[in-house]
Structure 1
């Protein structure tokens, strides 16, 4: 983090995502004393974590405090209720970072005033340091602020910056919601195995470990996903027979086209 920060790093919301980010910051060397967590009802485990690491905690924004970074990790549905009380934290050197799906920078500015702002969309593997985050910065974000925000976001995995705020809704649809698609793939594979006569628990174990292992192979390999697929597909073999179904007209690609388009549309609706 920047050595020239004039105020605390204020984290609003210490739930699953906020808590994961906080843990990552502390592990990366961010001093607990430089962080202020605002949360009306943190879990007992979170309270213990805050105390152990010297992180300050408050139920509401303290008076006469200006944040260097105001990190919003609350659900989009409660933003209208939460933001008005946070406006006093925003000063001329504050950068606001929001991870709320669908909530636009214009929406944030309507509550907090004009400021340097970043919209970011991490995903749930951030909780184990294996997420990916898409981010967009408005024109008021300085290079130093962007670098500082990048350092904060990368504790949960790679950070991809996009050139247009509208792209964040597409990022939300692909990677923000993406882990649920993969989990559902596991469910479908296991159910198909059960229907072929495998015990349900065995089918689930096989599906889980297959997807987890394939994901790790993809993570460690420099080959494109298409090349990895080709590497395990022998002409005329069992994998080719299955892919002939999955890659047929009406197969996985058009389903994913429709599903991801629906997710992006919902993200846009959340921001309206």
Structure 2
């Protein structure tokens, strides 16, 4: 009976030793095998492996997938113009060197989370301190990219590659929100007023340019009209001179008719001396001078 009990005990101990010596690493992880004697830790790739039972050797499983670290509580960051913002970042990372990570954190996931959170606050604080409030709100991706690069360098000793930093919240603290919104509203109103003033100035400039062009066109047109009129007057005078040379009597008759048209208007009543030379063509088409009675011969007594 004692032999049976002893055999059972041996079997149980063997099973326990075997179960603590054999371990399986799935494809999502790698195993870090550490020895109690101070020997360097070794990696165990996915598959079935054997190690010494504790406390001689222990295995720590490290997740090598892309993971996210979120901060449930927003942190305060100050911009270059001394305005505070609340930001809640999400850090996406993956472990690229499990041995470095194990040496820095002893495989404790919480230690890694705390270290990454602290490093990210430093990186984001530096990134926000280099930009103004308006740039911080308008260029969130640029700020996140700069903070990611800084955090990536700081996290290298941890064996971690930082892939991205994203913001789930970027807002003003409650005690500053109203003041900041009023300031932003005033700035936008001023910008709108400046745009309207610039637009009005441009409209006036366009009107002034159009007026100058109009005056130039009118001046050119008037100059051309005067030139054409002068040319026409010259031709008319030449024609009239030629006509006068061919038939002086007809030219005098025509000129007199024009003078009568300009002098007498419909309805005018004019008292004139019909014997005047001005009316000679009214007495006849040839413009004969008015006949004057001959003086009477002296009588002889």
Query: Into which bin does the TM-score normalised by the smaller protein fall?
Result: under 0.3
Higher alpha-carbon Rg = 2
Structure in which a larger fraction of residues adopt strand: 2
Q: Which has the higher contact order (CA 8 A, sep 6+)?
A: 1
Normalising by structure 1, report the TM-score.
0.23
